[in-house]
Amino acid sequence: MRPVDGRHHELGDRLRVGRVFLTCREAAAAAMKESGAAAGDRQGSGGRIVTTASVLWQVASETPGLSAYVASKGGVVQLTRQLAAELGHDGIRVNAIAPGWVHTDIGGGMLREDAPGMEAMQAEMEGNTLLGRLGYPADMKGLALFLASPASSYCTGAVHLADGGWTAT
């Protein structure tokens, strides 16, 4: 058994939860200022905040070195829910998108489409996804637009999965 590398914990926490909190704080302040502050508008017109979590907030992965990452994404989920509770009275809705495995540069680029030596790992991930592929950043766009639009006016404090069906199995 390999020991858990604790060097990344502080960095993961500071870069994810702390920065998400600061960004949400500024977004909430701007939304309150724009809407004339706490008018008690519960129709969802006070603003929208969409955070990015990960499906790894609710499931574990055997991929080594993810401990700080998954813990911080769990923190983002709870921060999203708490902010929804605190800001709902001001008509500000706060939701999270939780992507599954997505082709990005995260993790040193191991999920990039052209990541050398990662073909077998990516093929296994694809095999565990109902849609049979990894996602792309553009796959998150429609969900983000929905959550930022009036069409989602009754949605707040929720985590919306975009994982190609990975967590459905």
Distance CA 130, CA 163 (A): 9
Tell the burial category of 126 from Cβ atoms under 10 Å away from its Cβ (0-12, 13-18, 19+): middle
User: Is 69 considered catalytic here?
Assistant: yes
Nearest one of 103, 96, 20 to 52, comparing CA atoms: 96
Q: How far apart are the first and last CA of the chain?
A: 27
Tokens 């939701």 -> residue: 95
Of these residues, 16, 32, 54, 69, which one is catalytic? 69
- Burial environment of residue 82 by CB neighbours within 10 A (0 to 12, 13 to 18, 19 or more): middle
Helix ranges, the chain (H):
7-13, 19-34, 67-87, 119-127, 141-148
Q: How far apart are CA 22 and CA 38, in angstroms?
A: 20
Catalytic residue numbers, as ranges:
69
